[in-house]
Amino acid sequence: MTTLFFWIFAVVVAGSALLAITRRNGVAAALWAASSFVGIAGVFVLLGAYFLAVVEVLVYAGAIMVLFLFVIMLLNLREADLKVVQGPRMHVGGAILGALFLAGLVWTCRRSGLFDVPLDAKGPVGETGAVAAPLFRDYVLPFEIVSFLLLAAMVGAVLLTKRRLS
């Protein structure tokens, strides 16, 4: 049963991601990306990471992709504007960057022993309360640093968009 659902979600994730990068219409691409995030949430549920699944939808599909959609809708780029960023050079560059990213990901997972963790973890490890205990007891400093990260992003966004600062 779980295997069947894993394959359903895997096809949704991979298929949507593939469609997202091949669509020429920006809005359609953004929608496929959002669908891919929802599929990832499904995989998280199968792994017992319920809180992470909800956050995946809430933050990635419900906030970040909405920003992408806004930018695409508000800028209203035409085909001619897109010519600048197309062509074989961009494709090769993108492929190299993607491969580097994948290599980095695999390397990090190997080093941290993430590949050795059994996937069928039993018990409420992924419930909201179980996620909270280590986050707010053991990793207090990283948690507080997150607020500085968000603060920096906030300042950056305002500085970029405001024409004149009062």
Partner 1 sequence: MLPLLGGVIPDNGPRDYLPVFLLLIVAAAVAASQLLISWLLGPKTKPNPVKDSPYECGIEPTGEAHTRFSVKFYLVAVLFILFDIEIVFLYPWAVHFGGGVEDGVVFATRGALVRFLFAEMLVFLLILFLGWYWVVKKKALDWEEA
Partner 2 sequence: MTYVLGKLLHIVIVAGAALPGLAAVLVWAERRVSAFIQDRLGPNRVGPAGLLQPIADLLKFIFKEDVIPGHVNKTLYVLAPAMSLVPALVAFCVVPYARGMAIADVNVGILLVFAISSIAVYGVSIGGWAGNSKYSLLGGVRASAQMISYELALGASCVPVFLVVGELNMEAIVAWQKANGWLVFYLFPAWIIFLVSSYAETNRLPFDLPEAETELVAGYHTEYSSMKFALFFLAEYIHMITASALSVTLFFGGYELPWVTLPGGAWGTVLSGLVFFGKISFFLFLFIWVRWTLPRFRYDQLMNLGWKILFPASLVVVLATAGWIAMVTP
Among 14, 66, 90, 97, binds partner 2 (CB under 8 A): 66
- Which helix (H) or strand (E) segment is 11 a member of? helix 2-22
54-to-44, 45, 62, 73, 145 alpha-carbon distances in Å? 9, 9, 10, 26, 23
Among 82, 94, 128, 142, binds partner 1 (CB under 8 A): 128
The values of phi and psi at residue 112, to 5°, are -80, 0
**Touching partner 2, residues 100-129 (CB under 8 A):** 124, 127-129
Residue 47: partners with Cβ closer than 8 Å, 6 or more residues away:
119, 121, 126
CB burial of residue 162 (10 Å; 0-12, 13-18, 19+): exposed
Q: Judged by CB under 8 A, does residue 12 bind partner 2?
A: no
Which residues bind to partner 1, rule: CB under 8 A?
2, 5, 42, 45-46, 48, 50-51, 55, 58-59, 62-64, 66-67, 70-71, 73-76, 124, 127-129, 131-133, 135-137, 140, 143-144, 146-148, 150-151, 153-155, 157-158, 161-163, 165-166
Which residues bind to partner 2, rule: CB under 8 A?
25, 27-28, 31, 34, 38, 41, 50-51, 53-55, 57-58, 61-63, 66, 69-70, 73-74, 124, 127-129
